[in-house]
Amino acid sequence: MKPKIDNIKMIFIDIDGTLYNSEKQVTEYTKNVLNKVKNKGIYVVLCSGRSSSSVCKVSKDVNASKYLIANNGAFVYNYIDDIDIFASEIEKSI
């Protein structure tokens, strides 16, 4: 059954300085909290200025949702289904 749009809940989390600790790691405690949130039907979406491949790796590591926001918001991607949801690129001529 497809969820109604008004029932969708999401948490957007930055990686560096937020998800990662001072050693640039995600603690087991944080992973457990993210899993509890996900089990309640809340999407966990990682957002970063990093490239999509880098964000994807972290997203898989913490078992976040299949959606990610990368390149400072210029790219929104569903990495499980390989679907570009949004892309904003500057033309090379500019």
**What are the CA-CA distances from residue 83 to residues 2, 22, 24, 25, 50 (Å)?**
18, 33, 28, 28, 18
What are the residue numbers of the active site?
14
Q: Do the bridges between strand 75-78 and strand 67-70 make them parallel or antiparallel, or are there none, so unpaired?
A: antiparallel
The answer to whether 31 touches 22, Cβ cutoff 8 Å, is no
Length of the chain: 94
Residue type, 20: Y
